[in-house]
Amino acid sequence: MARKIRQLIVDLQSAGFQLVPGGKGSHRKFRHPCFHGSVILSGKDGDDALPYQAYIGYCPDLFPWGGVCHGVDEERTYRELRDLVTQEIKQLIADGKDLPPPITRPMREPAGV
């Protein structure tokens, strides 16, 4: 069953994104206090999310400026986010920088814990 636009809105809001003025028609604009830029979500609450809208992944502790990805299913989105995180960690290590301390609580407990 396709996810609904209202489910994506709940996902964004639970991740700290806030609805802000600026969307036109069925387009809504969301911003996060720690990220530059915005996320535009189109569609009415009861509409089925389009495949490219279905899943959103982000890592706020590692990407204070962004680091948001999306995908057509949970597994692909997680894989893309994992790759972004891996690249960022490698770059921090190469630059001789420490990993930032965790500041957010996980939305889910890790499997096996």
The residue ranking higher by pLDDT, 18 or 2, is: 18
CA distances to 21, 42, 45 from 6, rounded to whole Å, are: 18, 11, 5
pLDDT in tens, 62-96: 765 556 776 667 787 788 788 878 888 888 889 99
**Pairs from 80-89 (Cβ < 8 Å, separation ≥ 24):** 81/57, 84/59, 85/59, 88/62, 88/63, 89/62
Higher-confidence residue of 18 and 59: namely 18
Element (H, E) at 81: helix 74-94
Is the entire prediction scored with pTM above 0.75?
A: no
Domain residue ranges in the chain: 5-94
